[in-house]
Amino acid sequence: MNKKAKILLIYTGGTIGMIKDYGTGVLKAFNFDELLHNIPELKILEHEIDTLSFEDPIDSSNMNVACWVKIANTIHDNFKAYDGFVVLHGSDTMSYTASALSFMFENLTKPIIFTGSQLPIGDLRTDAKENLITSIQIAGLQKNGKPVISEVGLYFEYKLYRANRTTKINAEHFQAFASLNYEPLAESGVYLSVNYNALWRPNRRQKTKLHTNFNNEVLVLKMFPGVNAATVDHILSKPGLKGVVLETYGSGNAPSDDWFLDILKKKILEGLIIVNVTQCIGGSVVMGQYETSVGLKEIGVISGKDISTEAAVAKLMYLLGKELSPKVFKTIFETSLRGEMS
């Protein structure tokens, strides 16, 4: 028989932790010490749950690297004491934060499950209760005394995804997230069904390591018809810029005009890291498949393959913090480190 799992619930901010003041109709953060009062169903769970709330809850639009580090350090400081972690976070930037944490924790041996909601916990039609209860159940899943999930996951509307594969696709539907390039890790119905073949398998003989040195001198440049030389040159000439996520068309295609390739080539020779990802929410960059991407490959643009923009931003910041040579950087970026690319 498996022991009772100890779960640490970390509230960072977001809609899930709001409750409506029915007198004024205004949303306000509720006291997470009163969690059992607000969600009596948690008493039925077989797990032992502790809660920890950020003193000043953060709207996810205000998320930044310092906040990511704070969340990661909170988990790291409590890592030995708990079997799993559930992070409550605003949905708007959840994919970015969850992707960043997947890179921060090398050889993660316990589950870190991100969740949130589209409606506040006190709302009559809220999705918060189901998301929260199932996330706690998932974080507490054990088999032969070991956690079933050993990676950073994102649970929303009956599906658990690998966090660094997710993208927020809808601001209004309960099914707010999608993972088009990787199948769900688990699905919740009458029973909780785990897709064991899809799970990340850590080396349990190695210790979990935390990396918090991220370099956020990066930007995302999205291609669009009509983009011109002055704009691209101006953006890529930002002082101190170290890395760019270039969102191209389809399977990694961009203008084949000389001016475009000349600017990129000049910047790469000056040491700028440029990663090619697709604007599509599904599919992969295959540089060299079409004439419009051959030039990018030749000048040393890195292929993001089927990585999401959110994971590409996080991986770029993570690897820039390591101060690698351009050649090593390219090799490592094009390699799957936490299951973020195929």
For the chain, the average pLDDT equals: 93
Is residue 87 a part of any domain in this protein? yes
33 pLDDT band, cuts 50/70/90, is: low
Same-domain status, 128 and 183 = yes
Residue 256 CB-density burial (10 A; 0-12 exposed, 13-18 middle, 19+ buried): middle
Q: Which of 210, 240, 263 is the last residue of a domain?
A: 210
Where are the alpha helices (H) located in the chain, listed in sequence order?
A: 35-38, 65-77, 94-104, 128-139, 229-236, 258-269, 291-298, 309-320, 326-333
On whether residue 1 sits in a domain, the answer given is no
**Residue 54 falls within a domain, yes or no?**
yes
- Exposure class string for 321-342: b at 16+ Cβ within 10 A, else e: beeeeeeebbeebeeeebbbbe
Q: Which residues form the catalytic set?
A: 15
Q: Are residues 203 and 224 in the same domain?
A: no
CB 16 within 8 A of CB 115: yes
- Whether residue 165 is found in the same domain as residue 265: no
The domain total for the chain is 2
Residues 44 and 178 in one domain: yes
**Containing domain of residue 282, as a range?**
218-333
Supply φ then ψ for residue 224, to 5 degrees.
-150, 150
User: Which pLDDT score, from 0 to 100, does residue 36 have?
Assistant: 62
- Residues of the chain with pLDDT > 90, as a percent, come to 78
189, 275: one domain: no
The predicted model gives 165-169 an average pLDDT of 97
Residues 181 and 296 in one domain: no
Which region holds residue 240: left if phi is over 0, alpha if psi is between -120 and 50, else beta? left
Q: What length does the chain have?
A: 342
Using pLDDT thresholds of 50, 70 and 90, give the confidence band for residue 17.
Answer: confident
Q: What is the pLDDT of residues 177-221, one digit of tens each?
A: 999 999 999 999 999 999 999 999 988 889 999 999 999 999 999
Residues 12 and 106 in one domain: yes
Q: Is residue 283 part of a domain?
A: yes
Q: Residue 44: which CATH number?
A: 3.40.50.1170
Say if residue 173's pLDDT is above 60.
yes
Q: What pTM does this model have?
A: 0.95
Query: Beta strands 159-162 and 186-188: pairing type?
Result: antiparallel
> Residue 304 maps to which CATH number?
3.40.50.40
What 3-state DSSP class applies to 43?
A: helix
Residue 223 scores a pLDDT above 90? yes
- pLDDT confidence of residue 31: 67
Together in a domain, 143 and 189: yes
Residue-wise pLDDT for 237-275, tens only, equals: 999 999 999 999 999 999 999 999 999 999 999 999 999
CA distance 303 to 101: 22
In a domain, 275, yes or no: yes
Same domain as 92, residue 63: yes
Among 210, 238, 270, identify where a domain stops: 210
What is the rounded CA–CA span in Å between residue 241 and residue 326? 15
Instruction: Tell me, yes or no, whether 186 and 55 share the same domain.
Output: yes
Q: Distance between the two ends of the chain, CA-based, in angstroms?
A: 36
Residues 153 and 224 occupy one common structural domain? no
Asked if residue 341 is part of any domain, the answer here is no
Which of 184, 210, 236 is the last residue before a domain boundary? Answer: 210
**Is 340 contained in some domain?**
no
Residue 26 is predicted with a pLDDT of 76
Residues 174 and 229 in one domain: no
Q: Is residue 297 part of a domain?
A: yes
